[in-house]
Copies of this chain bind each other. A is one copy, B any other.
Amino acid sequence: MDLVLLSHGAGGLEMSALIDKVFLSRYGNAAFKGDDSATLQLGAQHLAMTTDSYVVTPIFFPGGDIGRLAVAGTVNDLLTAGARPLALSASFIIEEGLPIATLERIAQSMRETAAECGAAIVTGDTKVVPRGSADQVFITTTGVGEVLRVGVSGAAAAPGDKIILTGSVGDHGATVMLAREGLLEGTSLKSDAAPLAAMVINLLEQGLEIHAMRDPTRGGIASSLNEIARQSQVLLEIEESAVKVKPGVAAACEALGLDVFKVANEGKMLIFVAPKDAEKALAIVRSSPYGEDGGIIGEVKAGPPGRVQVRTAIGTARILDPPSGELLPRIC
C-alpha cells in the first residue's frame, strides 16, 4: 500500500507527483494550473486566491514566527499572480494545552505582518484537538487579492526575460533547521520571513513588463526555477556567482549536508521581467528594505525546454535538478 511520506511534503518531485495523482486529476480546471495562486474572473474583476498551511517547528525562531510566516507566505503567493492582497482568512488548529499567551503572541505577529502590507484579516476559525493529536499549533491562511496585471504566471516566462532574485537564499530554512537542532547559538542567522507587497505592487503599478514571479519557499530556488522552466517550456540559465548566500547560511547548509539552492526562503521573490524593463525593476527591488541585496541571476533561453542550467564561477555548466527525496518536514 502506498503511503504518504515526508518527502511528499517537501516541495520537490514527490510532492508534485502526489498533487497530480490525488488532486489535479480530480479538480483540474482552468484556474488550477500549477501556479501558487488561482485566478478567477468575477464581472470585470480578476481575483487571485491562494491558501497555505503552516506547520513550522519551532513556532518562534530568529527573524519570525509561525504567525509572520502564515501572513507573509500567503501574501507573497498572491503577489506572484500580479495581485494586490485584499483579505486574508486564518484558521487555527490548536493542541489542547497551548498557553493562551502563546496564541496571543502569534495573533499579534499576524496582525503586525498584515498591517505592514495593507491586508486585512477578515475571518477565521479555531479548532482545538486533544493533546497528542497535533503539535502546538497549525495555521492555514488563505488570501484573496485584486489582480493588477493580468497574465502573470509561471507559464508566461519568455526567452530573453531577465531573472531577478530579490536577495540571498537559504536564510529561512537554515535558521529553522539549526534552531530545531539547538545549534543557533553564536550564529547570526535569522529567517527572512517578510511580506513583499510594497516592493511587488510598486513593480506592478509602474507598468513594468513582468511575466512571471514565484516565491522560492519549500524546495528553494531549485524547485521554483524548475517549475517555471517546465510551465513555460523554456531553458533557464543561472549564474551561480550571482546567487547570494550569507556565509553563516552557507556554513549551516554545509554542516547539515543541504544544497542551499534547495533550502526554503520566506521573503524572497524570483521575478521574470522583459529585458527592456530589467534595470528599472531591479532599481525598484533594491529600493525596498527587503530587496537591498537583489540582483539579476540569469536569463530565459528558448531551450532545451524545461531545464535549469547553472554556470559556475569557473565557467562550467551543470543541470540544476528539482529537489527529490528531501526530508525537511515542518520548515514552513
Contact = CB atoms under 8 A, between A and B. Distances in A.
A86 B31 CA distance: 12
A91 B26 contact: no
A114 B28 CA distance: 13
B53 A140 contact: yes
Nearest to A103: B22
Interface stretch (A39-47, A197-205, A293-301): A39-47
Contacts of A9: 94, 126-129
A125 B53 contact: yes
A1 B52 contact: no
A330 interface: yes
Contacts of A37: 123
A144 B53 contact: no
A101 B2 CA distance: 7
Contact of A47 (B55, B126, B144): B144
Interface string A1-25: 1111111111000010011011100
A120 B2 CA distance: 28
A89 B8 contact: no
Contacts of A186: none
Given A42-B86, A43-B45, A125 B52 contact: yes
A51 interface: yes
Interface stretch (A130-138, A208-216, A222-230, A316-324): A130-138
Closest 9 A-B residue pairs measured CB to CB? A9-B128, A140-B140, A142-B142, A51-B89, A38-B122, A31-B122, A38-B123, A133-B135, A2-B100
